[in-house]
């Protein structure tokens, strides 16, 4: 067994869907000495990261960078655009959509949740129907999750924008792409998003600690009338300081070093190639799951996430599913690999394989081999050959 005070040989396989493994190149960048955050050297860094992150979001609009988790950026998106008692329409795609709704409730918003089954993405037609019925335009914002980390389902944000437009509704569109940014195609400007929320610890390949609001002109205008309390999260002062490359508080200097390097890495590879690489690894993973005779949680192949795959545990013959968390413990203890746990409604009967960030074919094959070996060790019924199915697909598509 892997004991807490032991030091197993080789690298730990961190195959949860975030935080993702931090590549050496970014670790080395973060190792640079901390500098004066009011000096010219930092100013150059600030201007660089603020310009580079716009390219990652595919926006010409400002991107606010906070020293916080993604939850902070959720709150920032809401408090900068809304007022107490405002109606907000949200869509249940999984645990993180549900948590965002709970945060809205705590802020005093009237958050309405369109219920989902955690196996499909956002149905834009249901949003359209609700907005059409809102003839008084009481709904001030629509909030959806782009890549739902708890389920491995990716929603069509362009379709949501089109639904809002067809309804001729003025509601803002707020989108969480915390696990999508840098791994799945995302277009803040082209898709007409008003506030995009993201974080550092997934596709950007950084440790946790930075979060983002990409902000449209419409959202900035809404912020002038929004009355929810805000101090630390307020956009106005931050954006004013950002114009000169600075922040109104002490920024996370060394994480910004890492962010500059992460953006360089993504842009050097090319975002389209990054997205294609993630799609390919997602397909290889699903082929392995099918070869094992198991089920992917996401039911619509058009909504398969390129970031992670949630796998449903098989039944034991008595109508009871094998315990996903017991299986994950065995994989950790015997093979030094962390897999993502099931969250919320799928806790205990789903595990999640992350295939995002600084990731290549051999990393994926090592991951899948660890899963298959874990099945054997844990006595989880499955068919052999999942790893081979992934090998065959990766070999056939190598270089494409």
pLDDT surpassing 80 at residue 6: no
Residues above pLDDT 90, as percent of the chain: 95
In this predicted structure, the answer to whether residue 292 has a pLDDT above a threshold of 60 is yes
Reported pTM: 0.96
Q: Which residue shows structure tokens 């068919």?
A: 383
**Nearest-angstrom CA–CA distance, 257 and 265:** 13
Taking a C-beta distance cutoff of 8 angstroms, is the pair 310, 298 a contact?
yes
Instruction: From residue 252, give the alpha-carbon distance in Å to each of 45, 98, 265, 391.
Output: 12, 29, 20, 41
Is 398 a residue whose pLDDT tops 80? yes
Instruction: Give the model's pLDDT for residue 1.
Output: 42
What mean pLDDT comes out for the span 310-323? 90
pLDDT in tens, 123-139: 999 999 999 999 999 99
Give the CA distances from residue 105 to residues 98, 199, 234, 257, 353, in Å, rounded to whole numbers and listed in that order.
11, 22, 19, 36, 31
**Helix/strand/coil (H, E, C) string of the chain?**
CCCCCCCCCCCCEEECCCCCCCCHHHHHHHCCCCCCCCCHHHHHHHHHHHHHHHHHHCCCCCEEEECCCHHHHHHHHHHCCCCCCCEEEEECCCHHHHHHHHHHHHCCCEEEEECCCCCCCCCHHHHHHHHHHCCCCCEEEEEEECEECCCCEECCHHHHHHHHHHCCCCCEEEEECCCCCCCCCCCCCCCCCCEEEEECCCCCCCCCCCEEEEECHHHHHHHCCCCCCCCCCCHHHHHHHHCCCCCCCCCCHHHHHHHHHHHHHHHHHCHHHHHHHHHHHHHHHHHHHHHCCCEECCCCHHHECCCEEEEECCECCCCCECCHHHHHHHHHHHHCEEEEECCHHHCCCEEEEECCCCCCHHHHHHHHHHHHHHHHHHCCCCCCCHHHHHHHHHHHHCCC
Please tell me the predicted confidence (pLDDT) of residue 187: 98
Residue 353 has pLDDT above 90, yes or no: yes
Query: How far apart are the C-alpha atoms of 201 and 208, rounded to whole Å?
Result: 5
The mean per-residue pLDDT over the stretch 280-306 comes to 98
Residue % of the chain over a pLDDT of 70 = 98
Q: Determine the Cα–Cα distance for residues 369 and 353; give it in Å rounded to an integer.
A: 12
3-class DSSP string for 180-193: CCCCCCCCCCCCCC
Which residues are bridge partners to 176 per DSSP?
145, 197
Per residue in 28-57, pLDDT (tens digit) is 999 999 999 999 999 999 999 999 999 999
CA–CA gap between residue 49 and residue 55 (Å, rounded): 10
CA distances (Å), origin 35, targets 30, 242, 257, 261, 397:
12, 17, 11, 17, 45
Please check if 352 is assigned to a binding site. yes
**187/17 Cα distance (integer angstroms):** 21
Q: Is 163 exposed, middle or buried (0-12, 13-18, 19+ CB in 10 A)?
A: buried
| Confidence at residue 99, expressed as pLDDT on a 0 to 100 scale | 97
- CA distances (Å), origin 398, targets 189, 265, 299, 315: 32, 21, 27, 35
Nearest to 16 by CA among 307, 285, 212: 307
Q: Can you give the pLDDT at residue 73?
A: 98
Q: Is the pLDDT of residue 2 over 50?
A: no
The whole-number average pLDDT for the span 371-379 is: 98
pLDDT of 80-136, one tens digit each?
A: 999 999 999 999 999 999 999 999 999 999 999 999 999 999 999 999 999 999 999
Please tell me the predicted confidence (pLDDT) of residue 3: 53
Domains detected in the chain: 13-17+271-397 (3.90.1150.10), 24-267 (3.40.640.10)
pLDDT value of residue 7: 67
């Amino acid at each position: 067994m892997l004991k807490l005070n032991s030091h197993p040989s080789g690298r730990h396989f961190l195959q949860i869907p975030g935080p993702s493994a931090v590549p050496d190149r970014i670790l080395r960048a973060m190792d640079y000495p901390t500098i004066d955050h009011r000096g010219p050297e930092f100013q150059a860094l600030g201007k660089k990261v603020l310009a580079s992150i716009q390219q990652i979001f595919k926006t010409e609009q400002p991107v606010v960078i906070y020293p916080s988790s993604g939850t902070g950026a959720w709150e920032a998106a809401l408090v900068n655009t809304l007022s107490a008692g405002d109606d907000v329409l949200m869509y249940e795609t999984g645990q993180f959509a549900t948590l965002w709704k709970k945060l809205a409730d705590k802020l005093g918003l009237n958050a309405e949740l369109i219920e989902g089954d955690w196996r499909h993405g956002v149905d834009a037609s249901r949003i359209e129907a609700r907005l059409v019925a809102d003839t008084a335009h009481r709904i001030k914002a629509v909030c959806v999750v782009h890549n739902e980390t708890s389920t491995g389902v990716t929603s069509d944000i362009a379709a949501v924008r089109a639904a809002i437009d067809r309804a001729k509704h003025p509601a803002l569109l707020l989108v969480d792409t915390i696990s999508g940014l840098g791994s799945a195609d995302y277009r803040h400007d082209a898709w007409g998003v008003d506030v995009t929320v993201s974080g550092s610890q997934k596709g950007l390949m950084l440790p946790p600690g930075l979060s983002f609001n990409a902000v449209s002109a419409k959202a900035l205008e809404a912020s002038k009338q929004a009355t929810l309390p805000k101090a630390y999260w307020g956009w106005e002062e931050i954006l004013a300081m950002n114009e000169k490359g600075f922040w109104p508080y002490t920024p996370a200097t060394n994480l910004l070093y890492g962010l500059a390097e992460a953006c360089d890495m993504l842009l050097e590879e090319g975002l389209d190639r990054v997205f294609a690489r993630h799609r390919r690894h997602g397909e290889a993973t699903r082929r392995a799951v099918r070869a094992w005779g198991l089920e992917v949680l996401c039911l619509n192949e058009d909504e398969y996430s390129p970031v992670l795959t949630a796998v449903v545990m098989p039944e034991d013959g008595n109508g009871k599913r094998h315990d996903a968390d017991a299986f994950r413990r065995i994989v950790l203890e015997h093979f030094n690999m962390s897999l993502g746990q099931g969250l919320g409604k799928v806790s205990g009967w789903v595990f999640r394989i992350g295939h995002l960030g600084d990731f290549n074919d051999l990393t994926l094959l090592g991951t899948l081999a660890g899963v298959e070996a874990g099945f054997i060790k844990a006595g989880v019924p499955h068919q052999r050959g999942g790893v081979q199915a992934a090998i065959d697909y990766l070999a056939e598509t190598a270089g494409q």
